[in-house]
Structure 1
C-alpha cells in the first residue's frame, strides 16, 4: 500500500512539474523565436532581438524593475498592516453585520477591475491623486486587501485571542503581547499572504495604467503593450524577467520564514 501511495505521489509531482515548466519552456522559445507559425511544433527560425533590446535598454529597464519591486513591497507592507487588525476583528469577535462586512471585503475580487478603476479615477482626480505614485499604491490595495484579510482571518479563527488575554493578565503590555505572542503565531500566514500580495500588486496593469495615467511606469506597463501588439518575442522575454523577479521574491519570503523559526540551529516550521 505504501508503495502504491509513493508511486501515485511521484506521478502527481511529475505531472505538476511538467504542467508548471511547460508554459515557461514555451515562453523561452517565444523569446528567441523569429518566426513561429502554426502548425509547426518549434519555431522556424531563431533570433536574440528581444534580449538585445533588454541589454541595450538594460539601465532603464532595471530602474523600472526596481521601481516595480519597491511599489509592490510598499503595497505589501501597507496591506499586511491594515489586514492584521481587520482579520483579528473578523476572526475573534462576533458583531452585528459581520457577514455583510466579510462580503464587502471580498467585493474587489468580484467586481471587474475596470469598473473599480473608472469609478475611483474621477474621485482621485478631484483629490489630486491621479497620475501619482500614492494614487497607484492606494488603488493596488483594493485587490490586495481581500487576500491579506482572508488569509490572516483564517489563522485568527484557529488561534483565537486566549494567548493574548493570558499575556495581558500576566502584566504584558499590548505591544509586548503583539510582538512576543501574536506576531510569532501569525508569521507563517503573514509570509504566505505577503508572497501572494506582492505578486498581485506586481502584476497589476489596468489599475496602474488608469490611475497612474502612464506616468507611473512598472514592468507590467512595459510588458503588456507587446502582448497586445502580438509581439510574442518581446512579450516572452519580458515575461521571463517578470517570472524571474516573482520567483526570486518567493524564495526570499520562504527564506525569511525559515530563518525566523531557526532557533539554536534547529528548524521549527
Structure 2
C-alpha cells in the first residue's frame, strides 16, 4: 500500500515538473535566445537583445509597471470593499430581490467577453469614460467583483454573525463590533479576494484595449502583442517579469497574513 502511495506521489511530482517547471525553464532560456529552431535541443543563437531593450527604456518600463500596479491595486481594493458589503448583505440579511441581486453579482461570468466589451465600450464612450484610467478601473472592477463576492460570501458564511451579535449585546456599536470581531476573522479571506482581483486586473488585455483605446498602457497591453509575434525573446522576458511581479504580490500578501495572525495571537494571549 505504501509502495503504491509512493508511486502516485512520484507521478504527481513528475507531472508538476513537466507541466509547470519545464515551461518556466524554457521561458527563461528564451530570454537570452535569438533563434531556437526545431528539432535542435539547444538554441542556435544567443542574444541579450530583449534585456538590453528593457534596460534602454527603463524609465518607460518603470512607468508602465507603476501604472499597472496602481490600476490593479485600486481594482483589488475596491473589489474587496464592495465584495465584503455585498457578501454581508447576501449572507446576513433577507430582503426583496435577494436572489436577483445574487444573480446580477455573478452576471459577468455568464456574458461572453466580446459581447460584454462591445456593450461597455459604447456605454463608456457616451459617458466620457473611454480612453481614461477611471474607465479601465471600472471595467476591471466589473470583471473582478464576481471573484471577490464569491470568496467573501464563503468567508462570511463560515464565520456567521453570532459573535458580532454577542458583541452588540455587550454594548458594542455596529462598526465597533464589525472591526473588532468580524474583520480580524475575515481579513485572510479579504487578502485572498484582493489577490484574485489583482491577478484578474493585471492580466486583463482585451477590455483594457477596448476601453483604454490605446491611451491607457498596462503591462498586459505591452506584453500580449509580443506573445503573438515572432519576438519570442521579448515575449519571454515580459512573461518572466509578469511572473516575478505576481510572486512578489503573493509573497507580500502572505507576509501580511502571517504578521496579522501573529499579532492576533499575541493580543489573544
User: Runs of 5+ in structure 2 lacking a partner?
Assistant: none
Q: Secondary structure at the match of 2:106?
A: helix
Change (3 A) 1:100 1:6: farther
CA contact (8 A) 1:91 1:154 kept: no
**1:41 correspondence with 2:41:** yes
Change (3 A) 1:105 1:265: closer
What is the CA deviation profile of residues 86-120 of structure 1, one whole-angstrom value per residue up to 9, with x for unaligned ones?
01122233455444433332221232322212101
Change (3 A) 1:21 1:80: same
Q: Secondary structure at the match of 1:263?
A: helix
The equivalent of 2:225 in structure 1 is 225
Looking at structure 1, the residues matched to 4 and 261 of structure 2 have their Cα atoms a distance apart, in angstroms, of 34
Looking at structure 2, the residues matched to 264 and 113 of structure 1 have their Cα atoms a distance apart, in angstroms, of 42
The equivalent of 2:168 in structure 1 is 168
The equivalent of 2:80 in structure 1 is 80
Change (3 A) 1:265 1:122: closer
Looking at structure 2, the residues matched to 55 and 89 of structure 1 have their Cα atoms a distance apart, in angstroms, of 49
Looking at structure 1, the residues matched to 2 and 261 of structure 2 have their Cα atoms a distance apart, in angstroms, of 31
Change (3 A) 1:91 1:12: farther
Q: How many residues align?
A: 268
The equivalent of 2:179 in structure 1 is 179
Q: Secondary structure at the match of 1:88?
A: helix
What is the CA deviation profile of residues 57-114 of structure 1, one whole-angstrom value per residue up to 9, with x for unaligned ones?
1111011001111111111111111000101122233455444433332221232322
Pairing of 1:1-269 with structure 2 (within 5 A): 8-9=8-9, 12-13=12-13, 15-95=15-95, 97-263=97-263
TM-score using structure 2 length: 0.91
Looking at structure 2, the residues matched to 116 and 9 of structure 1 have their Cα atoms a distance apart, in angstroms, of 43
Q: Secondary structure at the match of 2:37?
A: coil
Change (3 A) 1:184 1:6: farther
**CA deviation after TM superposition for structure 1 residue 21, in Å:** 1.7
RMSD: 2.3
CA contact (8 A) 1:143 1:200 kept: yes
CA contact (8 A) 1:108 1:142 kept: yes
Q: Secondary structure at the match of 1:43?
A: coil
